[in-house]
Every structure is written in structure tokens, then in C-alpha cells.
Structure 1
Amino acid sequence: MAAEAEAQGETLSYEGLRAFEGLAAATAGEGRDPVNAPMIRHWCEAMGDTNPAYEGPDAIAPPTMLQVWTMAGLSGYAGRTGAYDDLLALLDGAGYTSVVATDCEQEYVRPLRPGDSITFDAVIESVSPLKKTKLGEGHFVTTRMDVRAGGELAGTHRFRILKYAPRRRGADPPAPRAPERSRSARPRPVVNRDNAGFWDGVAAHRLLIQRCGDCGTLRFPWLPGCNACGGQEWDTVQASGEGTVFSYVVMHHPPFPAFDPPYAVGLIELAEGVRIVSNVTGVPPEKVRIGMPVRLEFLRVDEEYELPVFRAEGERV
């Protein structure tokens, strides 16, 4: 299958695939049901989420339910266009017949409440060049869906799949990444409207924690709404930089050129009471212990990028 896909893939023009970028995947789609309390209750019970913001007369829907109100069965949803099906058919014809969902990203603009009528539009946002993965060669396809409540934008849902040709069983695995790849090629975080302020703070050597404007609860990581009361207003406080190792893991595998295993990844409990995942430095990874005091510092990983890490107190490089 992989060899067949390679042969067929030679006739698949990337320019032809990119021609689908910007085409509508759905227009004027409608949710089958309004936002409603029973679905919210089922969702919260399945997730074990007991937040009081999701029940009662002033309830809102959990933000992560954004896509739920747009989903339909195998028959598809109203408003679906042929462009997305045509793109997948083109990839199928070139031998990229398998599919796996890889990731999604959501942005929340306003809360959804029981009774809201949902409409949506979707667009094919991008098609990647041919990529080599452990599953096989293929193309990543990203769609963006704008979800509206009463005609007002409520949030955006980006969904990415890999359409690939599976490697034949027993075939040689993909070649390792080129050894000349520099360790400075550290993976970049996803920066969006909800967390951009955090990364602006890091650039200024400030570790910022969100504080709810309604109930004062501190929260980390950054979120569009308060976990405690559902409030949407917030400001920030700067962390003192003091903390302790709440939990940790020592990474040995898989190897990645940007990192040098073994290294310790810790769940750090800050003095302010919130927790952050980061590297523990200053001691060999086998010396990291739960309860170890640590202090914030900023590690430059390349010319443009710094990360907050935590050094064991009293230790020196």
C-alpha cells in the first residue's frame, strides 16, 4: 500500500491540494438541538465535572462542549459542502486512504446557555505538504469551524486529521531525523488569544497567574473562564517564584533532538497555591524528590525563546 501510494502520490500536486484552502466545508449549518440542560448534565456526569457553574437557573455549558452542539451522525450535517469530501476523495485516490485525528484547538468568545440556537460555518484552513510519520506518509488537513449562538460568534473549533498511506507491515521504519538538527529547535508552544498574556509575561521574566475578577480564585494554566464560579473577568498576579516539587517524572524515552534525556519534568506547586508543569534543573534527574524546594528561573533555549524552569534551591550548575 505504501509503495502504491508513493507511486500514485507522484501525480498528486501539492498546488492542487492547496487549492482547497479557504473553501467552505459547511455553510449555514444548524445544530440539531438548542443548547439544553440534559445534554450538559450528561456531559458533566461523564466527565466527573461538578462545577456549580453548569447547573441551576444561570447555568452555562462547559466551554469544551463547543463542538457537541454541531455534531451529527454518519449522514453528515445540514450545510455541508462538497469541497471537503472532494479533498478527501482526492487523497484517497492518491493512496492516502487511512485517517487519524491528531488534535483540536478551541477558542471561546462567549458562554453558551440553555436555549441558545447554534449555527456554524466551516472552512478548509490548511493542507500540509507531504509528511513522514511513524504511521506512514500523508497530509495533515485542518478545518476551522466558527460556532455562533443567536448569530453571535461563541467560539472557534479547529480540527486536524492526518490522511496517510499506512506503512506495510515489516517495512523499514522512517529514517531518524537528521543528526545536524540543532537542539535549539525546541518545539514552540501553541499561543492563542487565551494564553498570549502568559507568554508575554515570560518574555519579560514574569510568571503571571490568572486571578478571577469575580471570586478572586487563582488559576493556572490560563483559561478563558473561572473554574470556581464561571466568571469571565480576570486580572493577573505575579508569582514569587518559590515552589516545591509536588510530583515528577524522569524522561528517558522517546529521544528527541531538541532534548537531552534523561531529564526531570516536575509538577511544581507554587507558593501561591497553583501548579505548573516544567523542568526541574540544577540536580541530576535521579536526585529530584517530592517536596524538594525549587525556585523559578528562565532558560533561554535559542535566540528568540525562553522558558520558565525551576532550579533546586541551593544548587548551582
Structure 2
Amino acid sequence: MEKELKLDLFLCKSLLYLLLITNATFSKTTWNVCQFRSVECVCQNVPNNQLKVDCSGRRLLNIPTFSSSVIWVDLSNNLIEEITSGFPKNVRYIDLSANKIQHLDGQPFLGLFHLKTLNLERNVLNISLLYQGVFSDLHSLTELSFKGNIRNEITETVIKDEVFAELSSLKTLKIDGSPNATFGKGFANLTHLQNLDLSGITGNCSLKKISRNMFLYLTRLVYIDVSACSVLDIEKGTFGKLRKLKHLDVSHNRELGFASLPNITHNLKDTSIKTLRANGINCLTGMGTMILKRHLENLKHTNISEIYFEKNRLEQLEPQALRLLPINLTLISFGENKLTT
């Protein structure tokens, strides 16, 4: 009987502890109405008497004046045209996506030494007009997104490497890919940059051609996404110089075809590549396609574990082509093709 009572007591305590933890978890996710002068938003309390503030979708024309306790700000889907007022000095996250910001003036991010994420997607910013000093105080920034700012394929965009060189802590860069996109010597200063997203799926991209020197100064890249970029040609060995590269996505560039695979995969054995995505690189119309041995021969001595060849109107594989696949391969997907016996 005593053992049963002790067991019951233990179970009751455990249940009470679980309820307390659950309630604490729910209380942390509660959002309450809050006001910054005349602007009504919703706020969430986080540890150390700090606030997360969501002012998205309120048709705001200006950035509210936030209290010093605010460390996270969502101002997306508003009508803001310029960054006129300063943000709290301890802010870590700013989302200004889907506004009407046309240009950055002066020092819009003055004193934001702790900011880690800045989202400027889907505005009307011309990054060619960025100037040295605009990012000079963003010492801690790890993620920056400019996706969806190029409005048409003929827009001449210059990526000024001396401007981006100021972002020495940057790990992830999401940017539109204009036809003349280059990443100059200044990017060598970004020694922590690992992820580069140029995809036309999440923004605008019309690269047309990817030269072998395009990523010359981005030697620490781990992840590259050039999907849906209207790419017609990728020069031989473009990716083979990137020793740390693990994930490469060239999907949805319909003009590439399987004939481009030898160029794409040249010297990938010298990288750390684990995942290759080449979905939809063949035209959806016309005759079915065949993977030949020469298309895959550069893969044999790589460490790739996952390959995706989906949506390519693939009908056949040349006999023994599969023998050229890497020994560490655990997954290969031919989904949404039309393979025949």
C-alpha cells in the first residue's frame, strides 16, 4: 500500500510539473494588443522584460517610435516608403518586406550593432544605388534579404561589393539575380557567408549565364540556389572550386538540359557536396529524354547522398549509367517523369 501511495504521489507531481511547463509555454506565446503612440500593434513578452512587436498589415505610412525594450519588429505588408525613424538599439530582427521603400538615405540602421536579421524583400529598392556606410553599423547581421526588388528582366543591377563588404558577420544572403550579377573582391571579406539564394522562385532571377568566376570570392559557400533563373549556360567547373559546398540547386532552368550536367558536376569531387537538385532542367514539350553515361560520369567519385532529377520528361537511362552514381548515394528521385522499361 505504501509503495502504491508513493507511486501515486510521484505521478501526481509529474502531472503537475507537466501542466506548469505547458502553461508556461502557452503564456510565452500569448500576443496582446499594445500601442506605440497612435499605432496599435500586438506584442509578446519574452525573457528579460523584452518585447516582440507585430505591426504587419496595418497600412502604416511611417515606422512607429518603439520603446527601448523592443528586440523584434514585424512591419511587413504596410505602405512605408522610407526609413525615417531609428529603431531601438537592442533590436535583433526587423522585417520590412512588402512595403514601398524606394531608397535608403543617410544611416537608416545607425547604432543597430545587435541586429541579426534584416528583411527588405518585395520593396522597390534598386540595390545599384546602395552606398558605402549604409550597413556600417550592422556588425552582428547574419541574414539579409533583398528578394523581389527587381521589377523586370532588363533592369541593370550592380552588386557593389564594397558596400556588402561591411557585413562581415553575414551568413545568409538572399538577393535577386540580374543578368549581369557579379560578386567582386569585396565579398572576400564575408568570411562567414555560407548561404546564397538567387532563386527566381522566391524572387526575380534572369542570370542567363553563370561564369566559372561568378563565385570566385565566395569560397566558403555551403548552399547555392540558382533555381528558376532562366539559365542557358553554366561554364565548366563553376562549382568545383567551392570546397565547402554541400547543397546545389539548379532546378527549373528549362534550357539547360541533361547535356549541361558534365559542366555543372565538373570537379564536384573536390567539394563537400551532399545534395544535388536538378529538377525541371529539360523542356516539358517534345520527345522524352535519356540520361547518358557521360551525363553522370563526374558524379562517381563525389560524396553526394541525394540526387533529384524530377519533372524532366525522362524516359530512359543508358545501360549501366546507374553504375556511375556515387557510392554514398542514399536517395535518387525520378519523380514525375515518364520512365519506360
- As a proportion of its length, which structure holds more strand? 1
Q: TM-score, normalised by structure 2?
A: 0.23
